[in-house]
Every structure is written in structure tokens, then in C-alpha cells.
Amino acid sequence: MSAESYRIVEVGDPDQPGMALATVNMRSDYDKERNLRKYLEVIEIAASKKVGLLVFPETSLQGYLYQLAADWTLSGDLLEYQYASAEPIPGRVSEVLVGKARKHGMHIIYGFTEKNERYGGGYGNLYNSAAIVGPYGIVGVFRKLHIPGGERHCFRSGRSMEVYETPAGRLGIQICYDICFPEVSRVYAVKGADILVLPTAWPTSGDLTVYSTHQKEYGGATYDLFCQVRALENQTWLVAAGQTGTDPKECFTFYGHSKIVHPSGLVIAETGAEEGMAIAYGVDVKGEVLRAPTKHFFGLNLLADRVPEMYREMGDAERFVPTVK
């Protein structure tokens, strides 16, 4: 793989002051070493483009789960592979990527199956995780909060939502299904995040025709909407990185369309469906976050204009999980 053969969508001037943000469309195999080699090749290409923040998709180190059957069970060989290939944090792969981050002065976010042996007995718990590594080591790790369908037979839910300081800005990570819940993005925005980061393996679901007037690939359409709305309603950047292509077991076709969304809600760079990378050069991350509530969207400040004392029911879990008395 070389910069000449790898598909790159570039927006802006590489010589312009500011941060270069990049997001990756990646087809993952069920082969951790092969996926790691692809990581390293892409990192070198990104470094040649002077990228400061590089985002890889959800579970792209091991490959997303396959055979999520109608009864939401998982096959034994799938679980065996995920347990055998799971990585602790810190671990071998994080050390390799920290070395690359140090070499290139870059921050890298990657999605992986995390093994945590502190809990759950001999094999420990598995988490659908995303780690940030930089020149000085591991910056942080986020564990997917909202666990859909068949993932529940493999992954535990995380219990932490930290905002991480990096040269690119303050980052809040969520993974795939998490973006369906506006509370996640809003909490990050309230905590001061400049960039919402979304590693994902978003599946396609086929065309949906509504009232014979509109037809679109529906799974992809929902992802597009969520990405733009979460950026707009929180007036933050959003960088989404998606798996693409059909998985090796031919269970899922992933939408791809990794993208960089401006705090105005407008997409400024996008890969499309093919493997590749989208780069936005000269990004004034904090400056555009400041301009979003002062110049864009009619100069309205969507965080300052909230009335949080009227939203108390949002935190009332008993409305959905009643307590037996």
C-alpha cells in the first residue's frame, strides 16, 4: 500500500496553519496481525500527509462480530476468536502504536476488542473499546456504553465518559450504537469536548421507500443523519470512522462513509464507500467551535440556551426499569 495507490480525499490546504484531521474507511479481516499491518501502513501514509489526529473504525483490530442471527446468539468459534485475540490495555498493540505516534507526533484512535482480566474470572471480560494513543503513551480508553443485540453475548458495557485533552482539542469518544443516544454527545459537550469521535461498524440495511417519493439505503441514511445532528446540536466537530465492504463471513456489508463534520452540522470531508482516508487540513478546531454559537446557526448558543432543570425526567431510570416494591 502506498500514498499513490491508497484512496485519499483531501480538503483544504496542507500548508495552511491548523490541525490536519483524518478518518479511515477500513475493511477488517478476522486476523489481528493482518489488520495491524494495515494500521501501520495507513499510519505511514497519514504521517506523510502531516496528519495530527487519525481515527480508525470500531473493532477494526480484530474485526466486527459476525453471525448475529435472528435469535441474537453467537457461534462458539466467533467467541473463541474474540477471546483469543482480545488485547489488554496497555498491551502489545498499544505499545506498537504508541511507538508510531511518538515517531510521527500524531494521536491515533483505534477500535479493538479489549480483554480486562481484573474482572470475570480466568478469561476476564471483553469490551468493545477505543483507545487514544499519543507520543507520550496511552491517553485514554473508552468502552462502548450501549450494547445492542448480539453484542451482549460478547461485550460488557463501559461505565466511563472522559474528555481527553490532545493537541487536536478536547476529545469525547463514543462507539457506533452510542450515537443513537443524544445524551452521550451532550454530556461530552457539557464537559467541554471540541471533537466527538465515533469509531463505528455501521451496517447497511437495504433501500427503504417512503410513500413512493423517497428511496435511499436506510442504514446509511440513519448514520448520516445522526452524525450531522450530533455535531449541530452540540456545536462541536464530529469525526466518524467506519468499517467498509463485506466482512469475510459475508454476514454484514458495512456502510463506510467515514467523515469529518463541522460544528455547523455540515460535512466537510467524506470517504464514500471505498477503503481510504479523508483528511481535512488547516482545521481551526477551537476557533470553529467558538464561531458555531456566535456566527453559524443564526448565532444561537445551543448549550447556553438549555433549561436543564426541566429535563430531570431524563435521568429517572425507573420510568423504563421499574423497581419492584
- What CATH number did the domain enclosing 18 receive? 3.60.110.10
Q: E strand or H helix at 47, and its extent?
A: helix 32-48
Reported as a single tens digit per residue, the pLDDT across 117-159 is: 765 545 678 999 999 999 999 999 999 999 998 888 889 999 9
Q: Is there a domain that residue 1 lies in?
A: no
Query: Which pLDDT score is estimated for 188?
Result: 98
Domain limits for position 94: 8-299
Q: Report if residue 32 sits inside a domain.
A: yes
Q: What is the pLDDT of residue 114?
A: 96
Tally of domains in the chain: 1
Q: How confident is the model at residue 318 (pLDDT cuts 50, 70, 90)?
A: confident
**pLDDT reading at 51 higher than 90:** yes
Q: How far is CA 186 from each of CA 183, 236, 286, 288, rounded to the nearest angstrom?
A: 5, 10, 17, 18
Asked if the structure places residue 122 within a domain, the reply is yes
Would 33 be classed as within a structural domain? yes
Per-residue pLDDT at 212? 66
Mean per-residue pLDDT, 99-110: 98
Query: What rounded mean pLDDT belongs to the chain?
Result: 91
314 found inside a domain:
no
- The answer to whether residue 111 is domain-embedded is yes
Predicted confidence at residue 5, as pLDDT, reads 81
| Whether pLDDT at 177 is above 60 | yes
pLDDT at site 10: 97
Q: What is the mean pLDDT of residues 186-190?
A: 97
Write out 165-200 in H/E/C secondary structure: EECCEEEEECCHHHHHCHHHHHHHHHCCCCEEEEEE
Task: Examine the pLDDT at 271 and tell me if it is beyond 70.
Answer: yes
Structure confidence at residue 71 (pLDDT) = 54
pTM of the model: 0.94
User: Is 318 within the bounds of a domain?
Assistant: no
